[in-house]
C-alpha cells in the first residue's frame, strides 16, 4: 500500500519544478526548500481542516481567558461540563467577539458563574487566547497524572498502533535500544514521531528507525541522552491534551486501538475540539500527516513560495503563478471574516 510522498520525494519534486538538477542546491538550498514545504504543509491543513484533536482545559475560578494547546491551529467547538454527565455547548451559536458581547451581554466582563459563551480573547505574545463568560466561579476538577499521561509537550502522527512504551538497553547519546528486542518498524514506529525520555524529561522527533533501535536528538531534559534503563514513550497513538494556567501541558493517551481512555475529570472544565498544526517535516524518510492524495500539492506551493519574488514578466514568475494556480484549484483559499465584520453575526470564523 502506498504511503504517499516522503520528504525526500517532495524535495525531488520541488527541485524538478524549480528546474534544478537532482540534489543540486546551488540556487535554492535544501533548507529553503524544506521551509517552503513546511509552509505548504501548514497551508494545506489550514485550508482542508484535515488534522484535528481535543483538549481538556482546566478552569480556574475568576479567570476568563486561557491559552489554547500549543499545537492548536484553530479552535472548532467548546463545551463546559456542569457535571460528568451534563454540559453546555459554548459555541452552539458560534465564537463571539468582545464587541458582540459588549452589545448584547452587558456586564459580561465582571460576571461570575458557569460559562455559557466562548469568545476570542486577547493575545499573549503571538498566541490568541480563548475566553469564556461568565468567568468560572469555582475551579474545575484537577486532572491527576497517571501512567496514561505524559508531562512533556509533544505531538505525533495519528495511527492506530497506540502509545508505545519500553526501556532503553544501551547508553547512547541519540540511539535508544529496546530492551525487549522488538522490531520498531513492526510496532508502527516511523520517522517523524515524537519520542519522550520519561526519566530525563527530554523529547525529540525520531530521525531514523532500524531493527530494535530508533534515533532521536533529545532536548529539554537534564542530560538529553539515553541512559541504561531510561523509560521511553513514543507518541504513536490518539491523544488528548490537558491545559491549565499553572502547569505544563499534559497528554492523555489510549491503550486501546482507535479509542481514547475514559475521562472522568471534566466537571467544571471545558472540553475543546480544535484543528491542530502538522508535525514539522525534517527527515528524508518522513511522511506528511495530511492525506496522501494531497501530498503532490506541497511542491506546487513550495515552487510558488520560492519563485514568487522573481522579476516581473520572467519565466520564473510565470512558473510561480502556474504552480500557485494549480494549488489553489485543488484547495481554494478559505475566506475568514474579520472580527469587526462579524459583530452583527452569531458566528465568527477566523485564522487562529
Residues 85 and 130 in one domain: yes
153 pLDDT higher than 50: no
Classify residue 344: in a domain, yes or no. no
Among 126-135, 141-150, 276-285, the range of highest mean pLDDT: 126-135
The whole-number average pLDDT for the span 162-168 is: 80
In this prediction, residue 163 carries a pLDDT of 65
Classify residue 192: in a domain, yes or no. yes
Residues in a beta bridge with 150: 251
Classify residue 337: in a domain, yes or no. no
Residues 136 and 252 in one domain: yes
Burial class (CB in 10 A: 0-12, 13-18, 19+), 352: middle
Residues 168 and 226 in one domain: yes
Residues 98 and 137 in one domain: yes
Classify residue 343: in a domain, yes or no. no
Least confident of 28-42, 227-241, 250-264: 250-264
Q: Which stretches of the chain are DSSP H helices? A: 7-17, 30-48, 98-104, 297-307, 315-330
Per the structure, the complete domain to which residue 131 belongs is given by: 52-144+239-277
Burial class (CB in 10 A: 0-12, 13-18, 19+), 154: buried
Task: Dig out the grid coordinates for 171 from the structure.
Answer: 547508553
CB-CB contact of 134 with 111 (8 Å): yes
- The pTM (predicted TM-score) of the whole model is 0.74
| pLDDT band per the 50, 70, 90 thresholds, residue 229 | very high
Q: What is the CATH number of the domain that holds 182?
A: 2.40.30
Residues 271 and 293 in one domain: no
Residues 223 and 260 in one domain: no
Our count of domains for the chain comes to 3
Residues 168 and 309 in one domain: no
How does pLDDT run across 45-62, given as a tens digit for each residue? 999 999 888 888 999 999
Residues 83 and 104 in one domain: yes
Residues 139 and 56 in one domain: yes
241 pLDDT higher than 90: no
| pLDDT band per the 50, 70, 90 thresholds, residue 251 | low
Residues 137 and 60 in one domain: yes
| pLDDT band per the 50, 70, 90 thresholds, residue 88 | very high
**181 or 236, higher pLDDT:** 181
Residues 93 and 228 in one domain: no
Classify residue 152: in a domain, yes or no. no
Amino acid at each position: 500500500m502506498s504511503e504517499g510522498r516522503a520528504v525526500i520525494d517532495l524535495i525531488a519534486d520541488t527541485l524538478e519544478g524549480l528546474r534544478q538538477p537532482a540534489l543540486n542546491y546551488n540556487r535554492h538550498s535544501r533548507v529553503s526548500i524544506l521551509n517552503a514545504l513546511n509552509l505548504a504543509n501548514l497551508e494545506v491543513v489550514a485550508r482542508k481542516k484535515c488534522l484535528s484533536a481535543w483538549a481538556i482545559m482546566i478552569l480556574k475560578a475568576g479567570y476568563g481567558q486561557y491559552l489554547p494547546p500549543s499545537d492548536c491551529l484553530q479552535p472548532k467547538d467548546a463545551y463546559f461540563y456542569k457535571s460528568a454527565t451534563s454540559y453546555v455547548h459554548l459555541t452552539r451559536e458560534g465564537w463571539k467577539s468582545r464587541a458582540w458581547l459588549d452589545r448584547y451581554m452587558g456586564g459580561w466582563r465582571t460576571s461570575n458563574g458557569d460559562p455559557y459563551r466562548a469568545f476570542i480573547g486577547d493575545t499573549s505574545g503571538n498566541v490568541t487566547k480563548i475566553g469564556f463568560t461568565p468567568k468560572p466561579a469555582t475551579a474545575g476538577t484537577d486532572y491527576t497524572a497517571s501512567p496514561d499521561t505524559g508531562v512533556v509537550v509533544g505531538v505525533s502522527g495519528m495511527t492506530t498502533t497506540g502509545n508505545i512504551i519500553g526501556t532503553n538497553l544501551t547508553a547512547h547519546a541519540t540511539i535508544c535500544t529496546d530492551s525487549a528486542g522488538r522490531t520498531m518498524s513492526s510496532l508502527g514506529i516511523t520517522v517523524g514521531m515524537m519520542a519522550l525520555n520519561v526519566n530525563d524529561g527530554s523529547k525529540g522527533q525520531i530521525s531514523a528507525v532500524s531493527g530494535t533501535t530508533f534515533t532521536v536528538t533529545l532536548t529539554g531534559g537534564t542530560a538529553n541522552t539515553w541512559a541504561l534503563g531510561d523509560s521511553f514513550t513514543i507518541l504513536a497513538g490518539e491523544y488528548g491534551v490537558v491545559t491549565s494556567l499553572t502547569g505544563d501541558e499534559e497528554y492523555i493517551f489510549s491503550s486501546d486501538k482507535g479509542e481514547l481512555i475514559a475521562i472522568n475529570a471534566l466537571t467544571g472544565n471545558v472540553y475543546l475540539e480544535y484543528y491542530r498544526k502538522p508535525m514539522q517535516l525534517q527527515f528524508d524518510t518522513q511522511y506528511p500527516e495530511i492525506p496522501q492524495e494531497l501530498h503532490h500539492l506541497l511542491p506546487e506551493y513550495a515552487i510558488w513560495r520560492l519563485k514568487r519574488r522573481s522579476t516581473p514578466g520572467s519565466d520564473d514568475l510565470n512558473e510561480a503563478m502556474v504552480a500557485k494556480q494549480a494549488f489553489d484549484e485543488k484547495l481554494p483559499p478559505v475566506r475568514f471574516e474579520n472580527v469587526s465584520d462579524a459583530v452583527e453575526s452569531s458566528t465568527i470564523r477566523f485564522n487562529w
